[in-house]
Each structure stands twice: as structure tokens, then as C-alpha cells.
Structure 1
Amino acid sequence: MDSTTFEVQSLFYHNAYAGCIALAQKHAPHGIVDDASLLQLVYAARAALALNDVPGARQLVGEDAEHPAAMSVLLLADLKEMKALGDDAGCADVLEQLMTLLDVVEPGELTSEIVRCNVGLALYESGDKEKALETLQVTGQGGNTQLECVALGVHILLTMHRVDLAEAEYLAARHISDDSLLVQYMEAWIGMVRGGRATQQAYYVYDEMSQNTTIAHTAHQVPALVGKTVAQAAQAHTTDASSTLNEAAQLDAVNPLVSANQAVLAALTPATSSTNAERLAQQHAQAQPASELTQLWESKRRELDEALAAVA
């Protein structure tokens, strides 16, 4: 993998989707012409889908794309459109087409990993978590060397409250590549879900990620800073969390992650700030649904309130 493709991939892993798209477009302005441009534009198209920009994703890989990795992105775009229309039959047809791609990719290639991950994502977003895990080949016992699939599988396991299986997959992944961005993020996710002292390790991960030279001092740094904010707040370090979130706001004030977590952080301040908290919460509610990170933070806040009430 060349350095540009690696940087595009890294931006995608950091959830710096706008930066991923911009860099891919800069280095592959003529569309898919070789293996490098294929990977760059596929990652960019996946980033566009994460931003719910279906037309943008289609444009990045081209409607007539024939490579399985690009086709899997186009089918994910189809699935989003079918869901928006409430077309269950159409969704089922798209899922069937996605499954057939698994039979035509070459095992061991990165594009094969991307296809499998996209199929697993489609199944997960369609509500079939068990089949998604089966497709991703994430069983809770380790053994899968495709880290994108493992990372998605860990996320799914955490949504199923199987922290034990998620941690087993994470520990196995560490033996494959302990310095991988995905492996480090897995550690942070598990730490945040476990709570308690584990949130301190999650903080260290997000703090280190926020200093990564690929994203530092740019708007691409915001997701890592928000993760750091959540970890600080989970440890009741609200002043530090506020400072970190202000740093993120200075880089990208309109990022929905920032506004969502501003509302949550305001709710953690003294009662004198309740009016401001309600205002921020209302503003974000009008903008878009709360992120999964925000929902996790809110659940941790409720647990803290209940614990404090119990010992009062």
C-alpha cells in the first residue's frame, strides 16, 4: 500500500470522513484507473456513505464500477435508498446481491476484507446481528486476521452486551497488529463500555489518537477529541472535558459530534447552567439524532447519578 492510500485509509479509520474524501479526490481525480485509486476512492465512497451522502458515494466510484469492492459500496448505497423508501423486498434483493460478492473476491486481499466488512455492515444495519457476525467471521474466539471485520464485529458484540466476547476478539487482534489504529480504537470502545478504571485507558487511547500527525491541529482531529472528551467526562473530569471539547469546537464548530456533546456536557454542569443545557440539547435534537457516543455518555451519566444517590 502506497503512502497516500495509507493516509486515506487512516483518515477513514479516524472517522475523519470529509478529509478522507478530499484526499482521495485530490490524488485520484480521474476515477478508478489502478489498484491505488481503487482503494482510495472506495474508502472515500465509504466515508461518503457514513455521512449519508449517497450521490457522493456513487460519484466517487462510478455507477459502472465492476470491481467487487466498488460494487459493494454501490450496493450499500442502494440499500440506504431502499430503506429510505421502506422497500423491504428491495432491501432483501440488495442483501442477496451483496452476499454473492463474497464468492468472487480473492481471499487475503484488502479488497476482499472491504467487501466482507461491507456485507457485514449491511446485515448489521438491517437488524441481523448474528448473521453479520457469522459473515464477518467474528465468533468471539479470535482467529480472524481481517482487522476491519474484527473491528466491526467488536462493535456489534458491544451492542449485544457481550463485552467478554468483544474483549477476546480484541486481545486476539493485538497479536496480529498491536499498533493498528483499529486495534487501539477497539481497546477504547471496550474501556468506555466497561466503565470504571477502564475509562482511564480509553482516555489514553483517544489522547494518543488526537496527537496523530495525520489529523493533529486540523478538523480531522475532532472525532478523536470528542472521544477524549467522553472519557474525561466518564471519569467526572468535567472541567478537562469542557476544555477538550472547546478545542474541538475551535477546529470545527459545526461538526454534529461537537454540538451533541456540548449538550451532554452542559447537562453535567451545576444546576445554575440547566437553562443553557436545555437550550443546547434542543438545538442538537433539531439538528440530528444523538450519536452512539453521546448515547453511551448519557447512559454513563445516569449510572453515576444513581450511584451517587445510593450513597447519599
Structure 2
Amino acid sequence: MDPFSAEGELLNIHNAFFQGQYDKVIEHDTSSLSASNQTAAKVFKFRSRIALGEFEEVLAELEGEEEPELQAVKALAKFNTEELEAAVEDIEELATASGDNATVQVIGGIILQRAGKTDEALALLSQHQGSLEAVSIIIQIRLAQNRLDLAIKEVTAAKKWAQDSLVINIAEAWVGLRVGGDKYQQSYYVFEELAQAVSTSSTRTLVGQAVSELHLGRLPEAEVALQQALDKDKSDIPALANKVVLTALTGGDTAADLSVLEAEDSSHPFILDIAEKNELFDKAASKYAAKVAS
């Protein structure tokens, strides 16, 4: 078996996963891969199935698996079945026992961040040894913290050793959307090129294009991209969240869009932020409510 050919096969699976081409990842023939690469490919396949909503099926298939990588994937599937506390406990135990495992670091970082344990997530991810996905998740966390300076620092450092990486290029595009200015157009080009590189654009790519279009003020184009994403997956959370933004920018009533987003993900930061602001508004308004004499 040609090791370079096998390595190329794993790279194809890796790239397809990060392009959001989950069906292609699942269908990919991995019979020529080495044992270690078989495990890596298996992780991508299971994660793709989780992304497509096959939580219970993945849990059933991973019952009894002892490899840290597959235990981490099992925790991710469990997290998506609303067994949140159990999943967090599982991943914290794995982080203690196998914190040096790249898959444990990545999936653990994802679960811990989504569970609101940002410091734990960053501590685990920071142990990585050249993991591009770990870097990309750290960047996402920094953006969520509004620490653009630290996100830029991560991108700059990663580009010194991973200049042509698809993962880092995508992460840099998201950072560019926060930097603004001419970076909006540069970010758009990344998603456009990504869409042209694959036969069928994924929801992830389409949402990236739509967000770029929104920042560039090209609302009709953003609407087309978002609708294409929702045609592919009507439950896609990023597409639904950005549809709320688009509706607001075009002067429409966002109530229906918000209702759909909340039904799909009641704990989405957008939903929680709006609920918090509504509560603050009601408290402020109550101070000025007319007092009726008894």
C-alpha cells in the first residue's frame, strides 16, 4: 500500500468533513487506510452522521468501544440527545485520562464550550500538538468572547505552519468578517472558492457566503444563499439564525423566524440574548409604569 496515497485519502475525508460534505465522508471507501488512519476516518464518519442527526444510531454502534477517540465521539452523540450532564461528565473523565489525545481535545473542547465551560474547553484545547481543528475551535471561542485580538493572534501563528490549510483558511475568513473593511470581500472570496471547489455547496459554505454578503450590504444575494442552505436543511441552525438577521435588515417581522430558531435550538445564544434583553427592557419599563391610586 502506498503510504502517500493512503495519506491523501485521509486528507480527502478531512477536507470533505470541513466543507460540510457529510454524505461524501460517510460514503468514502477507507479499506486502503492503515490502522491509525482507519480510526481517524472512522471518527470523521461518525461525526458526519452526528451532524446529520443520527445521534441514537451512533450511540448504539459505539456501545462498548474503549478507544479514547470513539469514547469522545460517543460523548458528542450523547450530548446531542439532551443527555447533557452525562456527556459532560464523560468528556471530563476522558480529558483527565487521555487529555493528550487529539480527538479528545477537539471533541472535548466542543462539548465543554457548548456546556458553558469555556475555561475548561480552552485548557483542554491548548494541549494540542499541531491540531488544526483545535486551533479553529480556539479561534471560534475567542470570537464568541469578543476577543478579536486573540483570534487574530491564533490565525497568525497557525498560518506560519499551516499556510495552505483549508481549516485555517475558513477560520481566517470568519475572523475577517469580524475585522471588517476589505476583509469582508476577502472572506467572501474564500467561501466562493470553497463552493466552486466542490460539486455541491454545503450549508456551511452557503451560510458563510450569506454572512459575507450581509456584511457587504448585498441583501438579495444573501437571501439567495440562505434560502439555498435552508432548502438543503430546513433545520440548519446557523442558516436560521442568520435568516433572523436578514429579515431584520430588510425591515420584516422577525417573530416567525425567531420562533423557528427557538423550536430548533432553544439554547442558541441568539435566543438567550434576546430573552435577556427583553427581561432587562421589562424591568426598565416597569420603573416608569403609571401608578394607579388604590
Question: Does the alignment reach a TM-score above 0.5?
Answer: yes
CA distance in 1, matches of 2:102, 2:262: 36
Equivalent position of 1:113 in the other structure = 102
Any idea what the Cα deviations from partners look like across 1:157-198, whole Å, max 9, x if unmatched?
Answer: 111111111111101111111111111011111112223432
CA distance in 1, matches of 2:84, 2:67: 28
TM-score by length of 2: 0.75
CA RMSD of aligned residues (A): 3.3
Q: Which has the larger radius of gyration?
A: 2
Letter matched to residue 47 of structure 1: S
Q: Which runs of 5+ in 2 are unaligned?
A: 1-5, 275-294
1:177 partner SS: coil
Mark the CA change 1:33 to 1:173 in structure 2 (over 3 Å): closer, same or farther: closer
Flag the structure with more relative contact order, 1 or 2, with Cα contacts below 8 A and sequence separation at least 6. 1
Equivalent position of 1:95 in the other structure = 91
Letter matched to residue 55 of structure 2: V
CA distance in 1, matches of 2:114, 2:257: 29
Equivalent position of 1:108 in the other structure = none
Cα offset, 1:8, TM superposition: 2.1
Cα offset, 1:283, TM superposition: 4.5
CA distance in 2, matches of 1:127, 1:224: 26
Cα offset, 1:199, TM superposition: 1.8
Equivalent position of 1:254 in the other structure = 234
Equivalent position of 1:63 in the other structure = 63
In structure 1, which of residues 225, 243, 248 is the aligned counterpart of residue 206 of structure 2?
A: 225
In structure 1, which of residues 6, 9, 16 is the aligned counterpart of residue 21 of structure 2?
A: 16
CA contact (8 A) 1:49 1:77 kept: yes
Q: Which runs of 5+ in 1 are unaligned?
A: 106-111, 299-312
2:217 partner SS: coil
Residue correspondence of structure 1 range 1-312 to structure 2 within 5 A: 1-20=6-25, 22-24=26-28, 27=29, 34-59=35-60, 62-80=62-80, 84-85=82-83, 87=85, 90=86, 93-102=89-98, 112-137=101-126, 145-213=130-198, 216=199, 218=200, 220-248=201-229, 252=232, 254=234, 256=236, 257-258=238-239, 260-269=241-250, 271=251, 274=252, 279-280=256-257, 282-288=259-265
Cα offset, 1:18, TM superposition: 4.1
Cα offset, 1:51, TM superposition: 4.5
Mark the CA change 1:263 to 1:120 in structure 2 (over 3 Å): closer, same or farther: closer
Kindly tell me the number of residue pairs found equivalent between the two proteins: 265
CA distance in 2, matches of 1:77, 1:259: 22
CA contact (8 A) 2:50 2:77 kept: yes
Letter matched to residue 11 of structure 1: A
CA distance in 2, matches of 1:263, 1:289: 14
CA distance in 2, matches of 1:136, 1:253: 30
TM-score by length of 1: 0.71
